[in-house]
Amino acid sequence: MGADRSGRPAAGQERRRGLGARARRAAGRAGPPGPVAVRALLDTNVVITGGFVAPAEITEVAICSISYAELEQGLVAPGLDPAALADRKLQVLEIRQAFGRGLPFDDVAAMYYGRIVEAVHASGRSPRGRIADLMIAAVARAHGAAIVTHNVADFAGLERIVQVISAD
């Protein structure tokens, strides 16, 4: 995923798009006993607020294309004064520089999205108004990553599908 525990790319480390087939196969192999390594996908609210320091078990962090879409949406919010818009544009640029390409919402994520929506319905909740969060959860599941968020309740009912870690 190309970033260290703080969310920034390691010095001299090439940015990677995500887990390739070789890395996915290697991740499925048994390794030596010890702490379980966790890959984490940051929810948009964590990316915006910044300052998240990952615990030791989180070895890689990434952002996804859905979060980039939410950040771009924030740039076209009506009523923004020019100074606030300039600040937001700078923040989005810095985030893109720190994380590189976002993990995509692809066909595998689309399959998990269907399962996630089913789980939301089964928990008695509605997916309406939560589509971006549920798509982020699907990307995390497709890449074998946990979600790090300030809003754990947004992902209630998904515990059997994707691990959710509080950023607080």
User: Was 154 annotated as part of a binding site?
Assistant: no
User: Was 106 annotated as part of a binding site?
Assistant: no
* Residue from 55, 60, 71 nearest 132 by CA: 71
- Please enumerate, by residue number, every residue annotated as part of a binding site: 43, 133
Residues contributing to the annotated binding site for Mg(2+): 43, 133
